[in-house]
Structure 1
Amino acid sequence: MEKLLIAMVEDLVDDKSAIRVTVDEPKEDGTVVYHLHVAPDDMGRVIGKQGRIAKAIRTIMRAGAVRYNQKVMVEID
């Protein structure tokens, strides 16, 4: 799942070396939280107008997690 998130974001940002993903331990309900860190200059590109790109990233991650019987949440820091 981490590779999927990185692959999606790589094409959006200019500074690919600043992409970092940290993963929290699963919560009580089994939800895994992925924290996406990008360069401050690329933050707008990842979030998009009115958060549309961020919503799309979260939707794709949730759809991919279903394949592995997981619940995921993506936070963009």
Structure 2
Amino acid sequence: MKDLITVIAKALVDHPEEVRVTVVEKDDKIEYRLSVHPGDVGKVIGKQGKIAKSLRTVVTSAAVKETKRVAVEIVS
């Protein structure tokens, strides 16, 4: 899942070398924190959050077999 997020994010940004994904596991949830260059945050979020929502939808769909809930957080 981490690799999926990384590949998608690197395709969207101008500074792919600064894309980082960290995983935080909690009791019933796995949280992926996507960190990008400050100038690329808008590209990952998109107009009205459409790209961020699409990214979350893809990750949630790919994680259907997981027993835990999955969330993607975008941090700068």
Do they superpose with TM above 0.5? yes
- Give the Å deviation of 1:68: 3.7
Q: Which amino acid aligns with 2:9?
A: V
In 2, Cα distance between equivalents of 1:31 and 1:14: 30
In 2, Cα distance between equivalents of 1:39 and 1:59: 23
- Structure 1, 6-15 or 67-76: larger mean CA deviation: 67-76
Relative to its length, the structure with more strand (as a share) is 2
Partner of 1:46: 44
- Find runs of 4+ consecutive structure 1 residues off by over 3 angstroms: 67-70
Q: Which amino acid aligns with 2:46?
A: G
Task: Indicate the percent of aligned positions where both proteins have the same amino acid.
Answer: 45
User: For structure 2, which runs of at least 5 residues remain unmatched after alignment?
Assistant: none
TM-score by length of 2: 0.92
Q: Which amino acid aligns with 2:29?
A: T
TM-score by length of 1: 0.91
- Give the Å deviation of 1:49: 0.2
Partner of 1:62: 60
Partner of 1:20: 20
- Give the Å deviation of 1:10: 1.0
In 1, Cα distance between equivalents of 2:24 and 2:39: 25
User: For structure 1, which runs of at least 5 residues remain unmatched after alignment?
Assistant: none
Number of aligned residue pairs: give it: 75
